[in-house]
Structure 1
């Protein structure tokens, strides 16, 4: 009898607990707050002071939590359909520059750069899995022109304007030009992947066109910045600096061609085994090695292109199930890194360097530079089989800047200070270049992201080949979007 009583009581309690649930939104955010607190508490128990106010990990935790919340709040604003990254950018900017809440000033610069690069690897690996082989072959010449011509047109325009308005020599103004001219994969690619998952633009290969061209343009821009930086400070062999761009492109593609097939062979697909987990770990490790390893070898652009090419080549011989599962795993990782990436980019903006006269001229330079850039994008697409609406969408997707500008915007200033040129014209030009890089992020990243988000489904055609299973997946993606994820 005693045994029966003690057995019935827990069962009764269990039934009551099972029947008691919080409302969905409250339960979801309660869970997230509890998880965030426990992660912070665990970090504090391990590292101590660094997880307390004023510490690096504390500042990163606050930045991550508030930027994720801001991204959710921005996205649920009715009718506007603003991208979540806008809230994240603004949060990072405020936490760096508003006194009293400027916790981002305590974040270590090396940590910030490393986390931004890890996030870039994640989005490039996702991009590689999403590339369409047939569309890539069909549009290879368009991709090349789209990567090189608009960037060159904007860089030359900005360089001339910098020479005239900022009293820069051409070896400095061309650093500014090619730095400003790089489109941001971190802004463009997530928007394109989201549209691709919903079936928009697939038949015309627009996501593949944008992803591949954006990555190639970044390699080109970073390489040319390095060329003019070397000329300005008379570093390295001039011939090597000039041919640096093609060398980095060859290295990046070679990583995909020679390392990608390794993931066809290993891990072995034995009976009863699940190779997806091992492939996910290998792919992420090789992607990180490509970016950070080649960065140490002073081939930054090659590392980014290598991560993209690696993921694309590796997935060519994978089953559809493998690609879907690995892509889903990368999507979960991206959910964590997205708030970090954009809030850290926003935190790179330092108002201390912003002089009113420089800001006014800088805005003028950026606007004038965009005119030939966007005009050339449209001209490049004239001979394609895209409709006028689709061409307009591609033009809009070539507006946002953030990734390269945040990653190497300070490279000229750092080089000048490393050489002890404080108070010299080299340091002055470095500050000017950094300030305009920051302005380009503040102005173009939100405008470009909003333009892509609000016009994508209106300007692009939805694929007629989407099956019912894909439609169900799309509904899940839309539900996930509503609760604050990508």
Structure 2
């Protein structure tokens, strides 16, 4: 009987009687008179009962039995038992008995499962008002999944489903050992590493992405980055660079840039030339390089990395730090010019060293690249003022596509015509010129660029980290190479502080600019192997090949030594040394995605309107 009382729901004892589950119907006296009558019968048990008495007893038994049979028991989710009048429930016909029994069994199973799972459900175990760490940890793993755990499960499902989709479309290349598989794993793990670095250590996520790329290239048994096709890596890095340069161009305050034009020029050229000269002298004296190779080393090491500097400065701009004096704008603009000078000078010295091309053309290559980049950016930007027309439907989407294509053409087209230094400058210029006329309308374009950066950020930094191979590190060169880099960094810091004199910046702000002028990654990863490849193709001289290997080793060391430290110094120094203005309205439109930064887009400066 008790087994039936444990069932969820209600049941009617008349059904038990039908199935012969109760063989005898028990009569319970329901009044004091009946009790007295029973006592009298017990006292006179030897006396024979009359026919009338027996009939009366049978009728009483029937009446009491029927009233008992009509009693129904209900059991709620909490396990409480309630008896109610059976007339409130419709009686089942004999043909429905089997279905009724199955329902009772299901209800019984439900009650059993509920009693087992109740301690695991958030519904019955709410979090107390002031929970301890252990209580919060226990609550985090209760069912159904919620909060961070639910987010992790969701993104793991997205990753697995996306991989399955890629496999169904591309086939074996998505399996381990394939190019697509290696890229996919690199991007996903870089996102996760960036999230960990950002949440746990309060550092820029690009540090985690760089480290993950380095691990996947150099650690045995997990070195899947070696399966990535170099041509794919080069194209994807360039595409990612286009996104960050467009993002930077749209965020530049043209009013502040006009005020800081002279400082921007000094900051672009003086630190670059000073560091390159210092590194060249150390390379000539310590590494025994000839002067041409010493300056090749100097211009490789001196180039800033826009992939590290620009997003770090934009993050500070979104927080309102240094915006009043245009420091982020100054850094973004000067960084691109620094790259043009370093790349052009490297090409000039390498051309002289290998005697390729006209010497006068090589000398004027740098200025030519600057003119090409500025001219392309200005003309293309003006074209985007009028096409598409403002009244067209979907004008923001069309402008986004045109701007992206214009940036891609600048970067890839400059390489195609053998003027690579013009690409970055042209890409930034087209964004600056276009945004100047678009004014408030650029907010929607910024949202689209920011959203695309969520994907391209781990691609860029993961691939840059994967370009750094321990195999390039020559043990005998590491110590001298670090010394060379250290000397160059010291001279760059001094030159940067000197370049920002008479600019209206405070001492702390000038020190911050010196920190921001340290990171190196993109140019070193791209140009580091160029000299070695050129030697193998054109010369084959063993001595020159040794110089090229040393040059490549020091380029790799400069990435490892300056990219993480420089990014951390920009993030920490920006909070310490830059004054925070009132945060401006942003155009960022991302959701929170693991392993991803949340770049904000500033509202257009009202002085431009």
Normalised to the residue count of structure 2, the TM-score between the two structures is 0.73
Q: Counterpart in 1 of 2:465?
A: 346
Offset from partner CA, 1:200-250 (integer Å, 9 cap, x none): 111100011000000000011000010011111110000000110010001
Q: Distance in 1 between matches of 2:595 and 2:465?
A: 23
Give 2:574's match in structure 1, choosing from 452, 456, 461: 456
Offset from partner CA, 1:120-150 (integer Å, 9 cap, x none): 1100000100111111111111111101110
Q: Distance in 1 between matches of 2:220 and 2:271?
A: 39
Q: Counterpart in 1 of 2:120?
A: none
**Contact 1:182-1:404 within 8 A present in 2 as well:** yes
Q: Counterpart in 2 of 1:12?
A: none
Give 1:53's match in structure 2, choosing from 159, 165, 176: 176
Which stretch of structure 1 is more off in the superposition, 166-175 or 305-314?
Answer: 166-175
Q: Taking structure 1 as reference, are residues 481 and 180 closer, same or farther at Cα in structure 2, changes over 3 Å only?
A: farther
Q: Taking structure 1 as reference, are residues 482 and 31 closer, same or farther at Cα in structure 2, changes over 3 Å only?
A: closer
Q: Counterpart in 2 of 1:484?
A: 596
Give 1:426's match in structure 2, choosing from 513, 532, 544: 544
Task: Please state whether the residue corresponding to 2:329 is helix, strand or coil.
Answer: helix
Q: Distance in 2 between matches of 1:90 and 1:439?
A: 14
Q: Distance in 2 between matches of 1:428 and 1:311?
A: 42
Where structure 2 has 5 or more consecutive residues not aligned to the other structure, the ranges are 1-122, 124-142, 599-609
- How far has the Cα of 1:482 moved from its partner? 8.4
1:447 equivalenced with 2:565 (yes/no): yes
Give 2:533's match in structure 1, choosing from 405, 414, 435: 414
**Contact 1:261-1:314 within 8 A present in 2 as well:** yes
Give 1:222's match in structure 2, choosing from 343, 347, 350: 343
Task: Please state whether the residue corresponding to 1:74 is helix, strand or coil.
Answer: helix
Higher relative contact order (CA 8 A, sep 6+): 1
1:76 equivalenced with 2:192 (yes/no): no
Q: Counterpart in 1 of 2:556?
A: 438
Give 2:433's match in structure 1, choosing from 303, 313, 333: 313
Q: Taking structure 1 as reference, are residues 483 and 339 closer, same or farther at Cα in structure 2, changes over 3 Å only?
A: closer
Question: Hey, which bits of structure 1, 4+ residues long, moved more than 4 A?
Answer: 479-483
Q: Counterpart in 2 of 1:323?
A: 442
Q: Counterpart in 1 of 2:478?
A: 359
**Contact 1:75-1:482 within 8 A present in 2 as well:** no
- How far has the Cα of 1:22 moved from its partner? 3.8
Q: Distance in 2 between matches of 1:88 and 1:401?
A: 15
- How far has the Cα of 1:424 moved from its partner? 1.6
Q: Distance in 2 between matches of 1:481 and 1:26?
A: 14
Give 1:204's match in structure 2, choosing from 311, 321, 325: 325
Give 1:398's match in structure 2, choosing from 504, 517, 532: 517
Matches within 5 A, 1:167-246: 167-246=288-367
Q: Distance in 2 between matches of 1:111 and 1:148?
A: 33
| Count of matched residue pairs | 457
**Contact 2:474-2:550 within 8 A present in 1 as well:** no
Task: Please state whether the residue corresponding to 1:189 is helix, strand or coil.
Answer: helix
Task: Please state whether the residue corresponding to 2:332 is helix, strand or coil.
Answer: helix
**Contact 2:493-2:514 within 8 A present in 1 as well:** yes
Where structure 1 has 5 or more consecutive residues not aligned to the other structure, the ranges are 1-18
Q: Counterpart in 2 of 1:295?
A: 415
- How far has the Cα of 1:339 moved from its partner? 0.9
Q: CA RMSD in A?
A: 1.8
Q: Distance in 1 between matches of 2:596 and 2:384?
A: 33
Normalised to the residue count of structure 1, the TM-score between the two structures is 0.91
